Amino acid sequence: MIHLDKVSKVFHKKNGRVVALKEVTLHIEKEDIFGIIGSSGAGKSTLIRTVNLLERPTSGHIFWDKVDLATLGDKALIQVRRKIGMIFQQFNLLSSRTVYENIAFPLELVGTRTEVIRDKVERLLVLVDLLDKKDEYPANLSGGQKQRVAIGRALASDPEILLCDEATSALDPHTTRSILALLKKINRELGITIILITHEMEVVRAICNRVAVIAQGEIIEQNDVESLFLNPQTQVTKDLLNPSLRID
């Protein structure tokens, strides 16, 4: 479904150049829950932002069903991006809008009829278990509830892919489990492919079927989750599997 072929990204700054991604090659199948794991600064967020070309790669190709996204014009790329939902660590909700209005926002932007919006938002509120909170404002919600709103909003455009950038990092363990269960349900019932960026191996273990490890902008290892946990090939992966606080 999605194929990254030797994707590199270089940022030019006053004091030189920063190579954020180095010839990354990945293949993600339809309906995968694909984890990309690495420590802070490894290049995870840059990588996920290249999938929908929020960051255009310096070199390489990004194919979606054999179409190279980098070759698309602005109008065609906008249409593709509507099929790619995204959720973030900090939720990015509109504070002046209710839960209902936040989820409805992407539909309003494209001129969807009011009755269609109402039907779709009601169904999404049931899916994310927030029907009783539809008239609340984000300030009155818990972190987990805010993330459920963000997920509902991301699903409003009927995406085929859901990008999750550290979507559970700001949540406590119990809430994290509930959000991961929701993502797994969305993948299973709606057939949406999920690409999940995280630094937490337990998140990968909980819901992913495949995983890639990134370090210093390079994919150093990728496998199905069980094989990677049972037989890690690099020291970086072993350190991620066995986090410990060491003071020399």
Give a yes or no: residue 218 inside a domain: yes
Give a yes or no: residue 81 inside a domain: yes
Strand, helix or coil for residue 221 = strand
How far apart CA 197 and CA 164 sit, in angstroms, is 6
Give a yes or no: residue 248 inside a domain: no
Question: Would the pLDDT of 244 be above 70?
Answer: no
The enclosing domain of 165 has a CATH number of 3.40.50.300
Question: Would the pLDDT of 156 be above 70?
Answer: yes
Edge-to-edge order in the sheet of strand 218-224? 84-88, 161-165, 193-198, 33-37, 210-215, 218-224
Give a yes or no: residue 125 inside a domain: yes
Full DSSP string of 2-54: EEEEEEEEEEEETTEEEEEEEEEEEEE-TT-EEEEE--TTSSHHHHHHHHTTS
pLDDT band at 246 (very low <50, low <70, confident <90, very high): very low
Question: Would the pLDDT of 133 be above 60?
Answer: yes
Please measure the distance between the N-terminal and C-terminal CA atoms of the chain and give it in whole angstroms: 46
Residue 112: its pLDDT value, please?
94
Backbone angles phi, psi at 211, to 5 degrees: -150, 145
Question: Would the pLDDT of 102 be above 80?
Answer: yes
Give a yes or no: residue 106 inside a domain: yes
The whole domain housing 237 covers: 2-241
Give the alpha-carbon dihedral of 216, 221, 227, 228, to 10 degrees.
-10
Sign of CA dihedral 199, 167, 154, 187: positive
pLDDT band at 247 (very low <50, low <70, confident <90, very high): very low
Question: Would the pLDDT of 236 be above 80?
Answer: yes
How far apart CA 84 and CA 167 sit, in angstroms, is 15
Give a yes or no: residue 246 inside a domain: no
The mean pLDDT of the chain is 92
Give a yes or no: residue 117 inside a domain: yes
Q: Please state whether the predicted TM-score (pTM) of the whole model is above 0.95.
A: no
Question: Would the pLDDT of 30 be above 50?
Answer: yes
How far apart CA 195 and CA 193 sit, in angstroms, is 7
pLDDT one-digit tens code per residue, 180-192: 999 999 999 999 9
Give a yes or no: residue 105 inside a domain: yes
Residue 149: its pLDDT value, please?
97
Domain count, the chain: 1
How far apart CA 152 and CA 146 sit, in angstroms, is 10
Residue 1: its pLDDT value, please?
84
